[in-house]
Amino acid sequence: MSDSNTTDFTNPSVFILLGIPGLEAAHGWISIPFCVMYIVAILGNLTILYIVKKETSLHEPIHSTILTNSIVAKICITVVLRGFMIILPIPIMGSRWPYCKSNIIPHTYCKHFSVVSLACADFRPSSYYSLCVTYLVPSVDGFLIAVSYIQILRAIFRLPTNDARLKAFGTCGTHLCALSALYIPDLSVSLMQRIDSNVPLPVLILMANVNLLVHPMLHPIIYGVRTKQIRDRVLWIVTQKRV
């Protein structure tokens, strides 16, 4: 028997990602659709940013005396700091647990629950915090979004024409589609991973990877299809390049 089977895994300095257990032979084929989704997400979002920057009609009705550059910068900083402060405790707590079971993570990336489950200690505080982040943060966000949409709907019903109302409803529908694509798959995967379900591990890992890519990929598609100015601008760019 080789010594590799009796390796001491006490606090290993290196963890090995196993990928998708049971589907090792298909990793190459599985990587193709994931790579396509990644490329579509990058190119699609860059295209949206470019079009929004160039198409002045998309800057309406944002009254500029309210959303000044300073306000936009503060919003961006707040969003980044909020995400950083919420996520930072997770790697800090994970790094404090002793690991002696194995250094092999049965996943394609260092998903928090998959890592701390290898700890030889009571990692429930870390798991509970991760669970709170998974469900409490979207709940608070959902509440704030609902309050915002109540105000938006009140403003929509005060619009003078039906066309203006329909356009506003279409914009709200686009936002809701994007939010649903972000929150629903993530909550579903996290719930199935934590409860004692009969979902096979390879399916959970595939769903987790799809969840990482599906929202950034759908984001430009949703906004591109549902926003007329973006759709027309994309068609114009495509036809001009063909000419």
The string of DSSP codes covering 66-129 is SS-HHHHHHHHHHHHHHHHHHHTHHHHHHHHS-B-S-SEESSSS--HHHHHTTBSS--HHHHHH
What pLDDT is attached to residue 6?
42
| Tokens coding 63 | 């009254």
- Owner of token pair 């509970």: 128
Angle between helix axes 124-157 and 69-87 (nearest 10 degrees) is 150
pLDDT per residue as tens digits for the range 114-124: 788 888 888 88
Judged by DSSP in three states, 200 sits in coil
- CATH architecture, domain defined by 3-242: Up-down Bundle (1.20)
pLDDT per residue as tens digits for the range 22-56: 888 888 888 898 888 889 888 888 888 887 777 76
Q: How far apart (Å, rounded) are the C-alpha atoms in residues 135 and 123?
A: 19
**Opening angle at CA 24, ends 19 and 30, nearest 5:** 80
Rounded to two decimals, the pTM is: 0.66
